[in-house]
Amino acid sequence: MPEGHTIHRLARDHRRKLTGGPLAISSPQGRAADAAAVLDGGELRDVDAFGKHLLYRFTTAAGEERTLHVHLGLFGRFRPRRVPPPEPRGQLRLRIVGAEHAADLSGPTACALMDPAEEHALLARLGPDPLRADADPARFLDALARRRISIAQALMDQSVIAGVGNVYRAEALHAERLDPHLPARELGEDRAAALWMRIAAQLADGVEDNRIVTAPGAREKPGRVRRSEAVCVYRRTACWTCGGSISSQKLVGRVLWWCPACQPAAGVSAPASSARR
């Protein structure tokens, strides 16, 4: 599932490429035909990103203000297209065509018009999004302080923090040397605040790079960075930092990766030789 950096990058790109003029909107697959009929010929005014949700703000050809909600889920994907775009192929839920740019959406979990009450209910369920200027980190700290579940479980709860997925969960916890099994409420305010800042920084780098690169120094390397060089623990067999074996387990429906040496359980000290690079 795309994580928050991908969603914010899409919002930024679509805001730049698709706003400012009338759009031809269709649903080749037919499943979003009702929404497409309302929005076709209208103008995209703005795109908001909240965690893993996209909200497209339209003024319709009839002069009405409408919002299209898109959640990519596990299989959803936007593909940029040239203008004119090629003939639709596959299960295209939505096609958006402007004067110079176009985008095809396939496989989303959600793609439908949303009224103000539905939008309010959606946003009320979400925790703060570290990539938004209006995010309140105190909400994150308060949410952790009230949860007995592990910090690794809490980070996957979108009502605790919006936009974090499996990769950033593993990488942020490793960067802060936190035992993923530590109960969230035992983290403490200082470590929780540091974790928030770490996640915010990693997500912001992801938006700029349009990819996840969390290993120290990897962003500065010229050329393409291989996945094995881009992350410290996620889907690795050996820790990028200390070279020790990576542990993994199924947690909250996803596989969690961590380094027991760099992220020791409470009362266990990390070895002095843990930093090799």
- Which of the listed residues 103, 125, 147 is the one where a domain comes to its end? 125
Q: What pLDDT score was predicted for residue 44?
A: 98
Q: What pLDDT score was predicted for residue 195?
A: 98
- Report how far residue 12's alpha carbon sits from residue 157's, in angstroms, rounded to the nearest whole number: 25
pTM, entire model: 0.91
26 is written with which tokens?
Answer: 């269709």
Q: What pLDDT score was predicted for residue 276?
A: 42
222 is written with which tokens?
Answer: 């010229």
CATH of the domain at 72: 3.20.190.10
Q: Is residue 266 very low, low, confident or very high in pLDDT (cuts 50, 70, 90)?
A: confident
The answer on 249 and 152 residing in a single domain is yes
- Report how far residue 23's alpha carbon sits from residue 17's, in angstroms, rounded to the nearest whole number: 11
Looking at the domain assignment, is residue 104 inside a domain? yes
The answer on 238 and 163 residing in a single domain is yes
Q: Which residues are catalytic?
A: 2-3, 52, 254
pLDDT digits (tens, 9 = 90+) for 167-212: 999 999 999 999 999 999 999 999 999 999 999 999 999 999 888 9
Looking at the domain assignment, is residue 130 inside a domain? no
Q: What is the domain range of residue 212?
A: 137-258
CB-CB contact of 171 with 12 (8 Å): no
pLDDT digits (tens, 9 = 90+) for 122-177: 999 999 999 999 999 999 999 999 999 999 999 999 999 999 999 999 999 999 99
